[in-house]
Structure 1
Amino acid sequence: MSNSKTLSVSVGRKPAEIYDFILDPENLPRWAPAFSQSAIKSGNEWKVESPDGLVTIRFVERNEFGVLDHWVTMPSGQVVLNPMRVIPNGDGSEVVFTLYQRPGMPDDKFEADAQMVASDLQTLKITFEG
């Protein structure tokens, strides 16, 4: 088993609105600037310029459960699953992201990635709430 961290943010908007926004990878640079500088569609996948180099992202099919799991193929060819959900939280939403420590990843790199995800989730909140 890998070490993991589950990070979340509460956002004062309806889950469907946030779900649709996140599911469109063209929005990645807007809410996840620490991870994505650009996103270009390539068939059923998206090529994303990330701090680790050019990665490929593929989301699960659109669904009614708020599941936004996605696979990231690293420049090395390693495929990483990122479980993600948008769930109702009163009149708003909770966005939940689980990060796994990849095999061979140093602890300090894992912590830096967790900080990057936390920062991007805060940017998502600011994007919707101003």
Structure 2
Amino acid sequence: MNETKSSPSRVVTRQVACDWRRAYAVAADPVRLPEWASGLADGAVTRDGDHWIAQTPAGHARLRFAPANDLGVMDHWVLPEGVPEVYVPFRVIEVDAGRCELQFTLLRQPGMDDPAFERDAAWIARDLQALKQLLESA
């Protein structure tokens, strides 16, 4: 099998017509993940101590999140069943008054070929679009 590894990472972005603090409040709330993050939670997300448990498309996963902050950092770590933990850098930054940008960094995982990387990037783009629609409709 030919694994052409085009890039170790890709930043997927979406600009959103809302204040960055509001975007942060929604996107950083684990309970709201099922509203927009189909790649991470396609059912209820429940707290388990310092972690959260989510039903993902690939099965259950343990999630942990960066502490609440005033910097727009929403990094999280995902531990799917039987797979090493995955670090997920995620930010929201202010572009100007009433407008922000969501920045999600996809990191290529060991053994991930180009088609899988492209599928993940497309899924992230769909999820960010869903988050944009959620934020702009409220």
- TM bucket, shorter chain: over 0.9
- Residue 86 of structure 2 aligns to a residue whose secondary structure is strand
Please give the TM-score of this superposition, normalised by the length of structure 1. Answer: 0.93
Q: CA deviation at 1:48?
A: 1.0
- Letter of the 1:69 partner, please give it: D
Larger radius of gyration: 2
Alignment gaps of 5+ in structure 2: 1-6
- Letter of the 2:92 partner, please give it: V
The match for 2:64 is 58
- Residue 38 of structure 2 aligns to a residue whose secondary structure is coil
The match for 2:34 is 29
- Letter of the 2:105 partner, please give it: T
One of 94, 100, 104 as aligned partner of 1:93 = 100
Which contiguous aligned blocks of 4+ residues in structure 1 show a shift greater than 3 angstroms?
A: none
> How far apart, CA to CA, are the structure 2 residues paired with 1:102 and 1:81?
10
Q: CA deviation at 1:129?
A: 1.3
- Letter of the 1:67 partner, please give it: V
Alignment gaps of 5+ in structure 1: none
Are 2:122 and 1:108 aligned? no
> How far apart, CA to CA, are the structure 1 residues paired with 2:25 and 2:91?
12
- What pairs with 1:4-23 in structure 2 (closer than 5 Å)? 4-23=9-28
* Partners of 1:49 and 1:55 within 8 A in 2: yes
Are 2:127 and 1:120 aligned? yes
* Partners of 2:27 and 2:131 within 8 A in 1: no
* Partners of 1:35 and 1:116 within 8 A in 2: no
* Partners of 1:34 and 1:119 within 8 A in 2: no
Identity %: 36
CA 1:128/1:96 → structure 2, altered by over 3 Å: closer, same or farther? same
Q: CA deviation at 1:83?
A: 0.5
One of 61, 79, 86 as aligned partner of 2:85 = 79
* Partners of 1:82 and 1:98 within 8 A in 2: yes
How many residue pairs get matched?
129
- Residue 93 of structure 2 aligns to a residue whose secondary structure is strand
Are 2:50 and 1:47 aligned? no
**Could you report, residue by residue, the CA deviation over 1:62-105 in whole angstroms, capped at 9, with x for unpaired residues?**
11111111111121240111111110011211110001111012
- Letter of the 1:99 partner, please give it: L
